[in-house]
Amino acid sequence: MKLTRGYCVLSVMAAFFVFMLFGGASSAADVIKVGVVVPLTGSFADEGTEMVRGVELMVEEVNAAGGLLGKKLEIIIGDIGGFSAEKIVSVAEKLYHKDKVDFFVTQYLGGMVDVKTLGEFDVPYLNMDTSQIEADLIEKNIDKFSNVFQACPPETKYSSGILDFMVRVFPKATGYQYPNKKMALITMVRAYNDRISKVFKELVAKTDWELDVDEKTPTGTVEWGPVLTKIRQANPAIIFLNDHVPSDEVAFLRQFHENPTKSMIFIQYGPSNPAFIDLGKEKTNGIFWGTLFAGFGPKYDVWRKRYVEKYKEEPGVGTAVGTYTSSMIWAQAVKRAGNEKDYAEICRIIREHAHNITGATHVFNPRNQTVIVGEGLCPFLVYQVQNLKHQLVSPVGHATGKMEIPAWLK
């Protein structure tokens, strides 16, 4: 039987629409979208790039192994620039409503706007905000924000870890004897840093140490003369610089070394940013700094090698490995759940299982969904800059280098 030309055209058109309905839908269904919310413009763009790279490595690894549940992962990036509340909200809503992502990840967004916004969605969201106010908010509204996880401890845990290292671990490991029991505390004016200093001062008050200098400085401080004058008058054995902006820290160190006191210097996590050593060069040698999350051990070594091979440079200490770890925790939970859209089950698995991705063992506190800190779990890690490189010096069981007495103390 011969077919008319019109019949053939109709048949082709019908086949095309069937393909679009079923073949096209199948193609879309074969992709799982990962929403990456990061600062790619503004003063934190370097760290934003690292955040994206961590997720890229997770996606590359999973896709190379056949995908997640047989589906390819695709990254959808949202740039939040300078962290304005309006930008975070608009980016999050676009990724959720328009792009239909099945997962949100970042290293840090602040701990309040992101939780309130992404907590309205049912999609799992992992961050490393290190935010006590986030932890408190989730604990008070655990049913509402059950999809939000901090893949690290809150920032108040810095205080105890830093104080213990300075007054106990450092002198014990090096044999160094402090000339006095006086401290200087310098706090960057920011609610996040204020919370760390508040707890720190409460803990110091319970010891036989004295806080002789207690100063607050704005972000972007380049002239440290007034603060250093007070430090040189007090001559404290310890200086805790609670500031996480590398340019601030480097300016302080340069001016400190013009006439140094015999003070051990501990800086909050800011030196983890690659810009710290790049800016400060030899002035950074000898200082200590700490973080509530970083990769370490054999698993981290494998990951770091992959990073260097792909990007031709060393990663920062905690940022890229942080987003890699968070996103891999989600990917493994999806695999266990067997369905990337069973968000409640994925969150249950994240909450109720231990996860060891790049060294630390992540166990989430079910009350506030932050990671529990402790050796054998997620330890407080202390680094020292030695010969322009970060060496992990504490806990000793994870150390990559031996703790040294800074040159200006000898």
pLDDT, tens digit, 9 for 90 and up, residues 337-386? 999 999 999 999 999 999 999 999 999 999 999 999 998 999 999 999 99
Same domain, 233 and 341: no
Is residue 177 predicted with pLDDT exceeding 50? yes
What burial class does residue 313 get, using C-beta atoms within 10 Å of its C-beta: 0-12 exposed, 13-18 middle, 19+ buried? exposed
Identify whether 102 is part of a domain: yes
Same domain, 318 and 388: no
Same domain, 394 and 405: yes
Give the rounded percent of residues in the chain with a pLDDT score beyond 90.
85
Tell me the pLDDT tens digit for each residue of 236-252: 999 999 998 899 999 99
User: Which conformational region is residue 102 in: left (phi greater than 0), alpha (psi within -120 to 50 degrees), or beta?
Assistant: alpha
Identify whether 11 is part of a domain: no
At 224 the pLDDT is 98
At 2 the pLDDT is 37
Q: Residue range 95-105: average pLDDT?
A: 98
Same domain, 300 and 230: no
Identify whether 91 is part of a domain: yes
Q: Residue range 94-101: average pLDDT?
A: 97
Sorting pLDDT into bands at 50, 70 and 90, what band is 29? confident
Identify whether 1 is part of a domain: no
Q: Which residues pair with 127 in a beta bridge?
A: 150
Same domain, 147 and 80: yes
At 21 the pLDDT is 46
Is residue 1 predicted with pLDDT exceeding 60? no
> Which residue range is the domain that position 310 belongs to?
27-155+296-362
Same domain, 351 and 403: no
Same domain, 336 and 278: no
Identify whether 322 is part of a domain: yes
pTM of the model: 0.86
Residues 108/102, Cβ–Cβ less than 8 Å: no
Same domain, 242 and 261: yes
Same domain, 107 and 232: no
CA angle 46, 271, 190 (to 5 degrees): 80
Q: Which residues of 92-127 are buried (b: 16+ CB within 10 A; e: fewer)?
A: beebbeeeebbbbbbbbbbbbbbbbbbbebebbbbb
Q: Which residues pair with 182 in a beta bridge?
A: 210
Identify whether 280 is part of a domain: yes
At 4 the pLDDT is 42
Is residue 63 predicted with pLDDT exceeding 50? yes
Mean pLDDT over the full length of the chain: 92
Tell me the pLDDT tens digit for each residue of 245-272: 899 999 999 999 999 999 999 999 889 8
Tell me the pLDDT tens digit for each residue of 185-212: 999 999 889 999 999 999 999 999 999 9
Q: How many domains does the chain have?
A: 2
Same domain, 82 and 203: no
Helices (H), 205-260: 225-234, 246-256
Identify whether 12 is part of a domain: no
Identify whether 10 is part of a domain: no
Sorting pLDDT into bands at 50, 70 and 90, what band is 27? low
At 375 the pLDDT is 86
Is residue 111 predicted with pLDDT exceeding 80? no
Same domain, 257 and 384: yes
Same domain, 167 and 287: yes
Q: What is the CATH number of the domain that holds 172?
A: 3.40.50.2300
Q: Residue range 312-317: average pLDDT?
A: 91
Sorting pLDDT into bands at 50, 70 and 90, what band is 81? very high
Tell me the pLDDT tens digit for each residue of 137-158: 999 999 999 999 999 999 989 9
